[in-house]
Structure 1
């Protein structure tokens, strides 16, 4: 079993927040110097939808993950894994606050 606990130098728990994969996507295309309109076109989505992904307001689907793999050469499993971890983090936080 994998332990997602993170400790500081004193051995105290550090709470981390999940990052939406859109943040990583934005970082990746900025690093590569790719225009956002070109990314949206290559992924067959509207530029507005791409902006919503960057903002974490729209999730990365399996279909989009496959397109990202084809366009960026980064595994679709990577993108879906990030999305799943983000979704689980949110679900657990909601369950704790219920």
Structure 2
């Protein structure tokens, strides 16, 4: 568990919630919850902002992707090809 995640969980416990994952939070919500105003969701988002959690997670994910690509050069070529195809398709759709 990264530092940001531990800090986020501590803050959530401080306000009375003990969800360890977004899935646990989602599963605890009523079926038709107003997630914009749901106190648990509001607290979770506030904690993520205060701890810079989302940026830390994004950086961890990017690093993991760099490691996988470095281990397998073919993946980089495939990814580049798919990216190029996506850009070409988007240009065609936007024309």
Structure-1-length-normalised TM-score: 0.32
Q: Which has the higher helix share?
A: 2
Structure-2-length-normalised TM-score: 0.32
